[in-house]
Structures are given as C-alpha cells and as structure tokens.
Amino acid sequence: MNVSSCKQRQKLAVDIDAVCRLITSTQLSSGEIPWSTGEKTDPWDHVEAAMGLVVGGYLEQARRAFYWLRSMQLDDGSWFAAYRRGIPEDRTRETNMSAYIAVGVFHYWLITGDRKFLESMWDTVRRAIDFAVGHQRANGEICWAISPQGKVDPMALLTGSSSIYMSLKCAMAIAAELGMATIPWADAFKRLGDAIRSRPYLFNMTKSRFSMDWFYPVLCGAVTGEAATRRIDRQWKKYVVEGLGVRCVSDQPWVTVAESSELVLTLAAMGDTEKARIVFNWLLDHVFDDGSFWCGFTFPDMTRWPEEKITWTNAVVILAADALFNLTPGGRLFGHAWWANAGYSG
C-alpha cells in the first residue's frame, strides 16, 4: 500500500490488517477459506474472503485461495455448494456460487494488473460461466441449482441471478482483456438483465423477505439510475434500522454486518456516497477486541449473534471501505457509471 492509502486507512477507523489476519488465520494450508475455524466453506463466500485479502494487500494468500478453487472445479465447470477441509459436504451445484469466481478474478486484476494471473484463471472462469449460462431459461432467468442427484431445479432466485449478472459482466471484461470472444455470454447477459428489471414474477417471491432481494438488483448494476433510486427508497424502512444497519430478513430483529456492508456497496455504486458513509459509520462499533467485525446482532437488546468471527463478513467490510475511500482500483468494481463507460450497461 502507498502512503496515501495508509492515511486513508487511518481515517476509516477500520483495522484492515486485523481483518485480513482473521481471514488468513482461518485459511487452511490448501488455500481453502472456511466461514470460520472448523466450519464449512462455500465457493461464493470463499471468493468474497479472497477479495478482502486482495484489498488488504495479502496477495499470496489470495492467490492460494483462487488456486484452491481452480483445483476443486468439477468437470462441468461448477463446484459443490459446501466443503469441509476439501471434502464435499453438500453436493448441490449452485449456478451463482459457481459463477462468482469471475468477480473475484476480475477484482484481483483491477487491483494488481497481473496479466499472468488473469491468463492462468481464464479457463476456470470460462467453464464456470458456461455452467451458469447453460442453465438459463427462455425468459432470461437462470435456474438456481442442480441437486446432488443431478436434477435441475427450475426455480430462479433474484439474488442469485443478480449475482450471476455481475459475474457475467466481469467475465466479459476479462475476455475482452484477453482477446477472447463472448457472443453467447453477451446474449445471456442482456436476457438476464431484462428478466431482473422487467419480469420479477420469474423469480421465487418467497425470498423477498431477505434484504438481498431488495438491493442486489441494484448492486449488480441490472437496475440503475432513477429506477435504482426508486427501488432503494421504496423499501428502505422495511429493511433498514436507522442507526444500526440492515436486517437480514425483514420480519426478524437481526442486523447483519454483511448485508449492511453490501448496502454500502450498493449506495456507493449508485453514486450516493453520502448515504453510504452514514450506513458504513453505523458498523464501526461492532468489532471484537482484535479489530475484526461481528457477524450480526439482535435489537433492541443489542445481543451479538452469532459469536463466530466470519471470514466473508469481514471481507465485505473491507470491500465497502474500498468503494467509499478508493483504497485500491478495486473500489470501482460495482460502480454503475464505471461499467457504463466500459460499455456494460446491460
């Protein structure tokens, strides 16, 4: 990190090194990053944890995380939904979990400019995206998973499909950098964006209790501009507890640091940095003595729950800080204006 970045760190009141030390102390020698010590690993959150390490400058550990994922990729381009010390624990294969590696790899490239790494991960990204796109339906939505028995579940999830939309953008950007063709992906990207914006009935509406269904279509950049502002404003009071953060589920008194940080990312992506900073500041008191962040807490009793120190929760705090304070070039990763200027407006 350069001097200006170090000064920015001091302004943040976030101990980025402490957060990264939590992640690296949880990371296994294989490169696998579980949720917490002794817990499971899932591909999506594993990538998120690695992204936090990249922002913190822990590049060797981040590369080991990506290389572990590369070594575990299945023949069809997917990964199992959960592992424990490298052993599959849940053999469901989820489309959004598999596609997210494209976001992590592109994020690494934005920060480091390491073309050799980008080239080394291209085949892994290509196969993962092909797996997800291969389960897109005629109306544009993407089936969420294949069961352990090999049966495709036709249900589509709005949060998961939004995550795949972001993954497709990143995969196409990687392909463009490497001079690879992506015409089938471009068509899938357009149809998926249209479905997210215009056909909410295609997605499982029982998940609308979860705050991610509220802001993920905006975070991923499928919904932008005035439509994004309307979407966030319309349900703000449903999910946001003023002065505390974002509920994981609208009808439960549980605020989570991860969802709150992702809302910060969403607001920053829209260009509403003032509101993003307000929400970010709500999180800064919810830390352990070692400087790492809580997973969440109940209110109004303010009971910390669960007690575990979660790797990916801590990583997304760092990503939110980067989006707000431009610690690295990766801070622009979700920015709507940046993607529009790059020609990926959906």
Rounded to 5°, the CA angle 150-194-137 comes to 20
CATH code given to domain 12-341: 1.50.10.10
C-beta of residue 10 within 8 angstroms of C-beta of residue 3: no
C-beta of residue 77 within 8 angstroms of C-beta of residue 128: yes
Half-sphere exposure of residue 298: CA atoms within 13 angstroms, side-chain side: 8
CA-based torsion, 73, 67, 125, 270: positive or negative? positive
Domains of the chain, residue spans? 12-341
- In which residue are the tokens 């790494």 written? 117
Q: Tens of pLDDT along 258-298?
A: 999 999 999 999 999 999 999 999 999 999 999 999 999 99
**What span, in angstroms and rounded, lies between the C-alpha atoms of 31 and 281?**
32
Q: Tens of pLDDT along 91-141?
A: 999 999 999 999 999 999 999 999 999 999 999 999 999 999 999 999 999
Q: Tens of pLDDT along 185-240?
A: 999 999 999 999 999 999 998 888 999 999 999 999 999 999 999 999 999 999 99
Residue 12 pLDDT exceeds 80: no
Q: Tens of pLDDT along 305-326?
A: 999 999 999 999 999 999 999 9
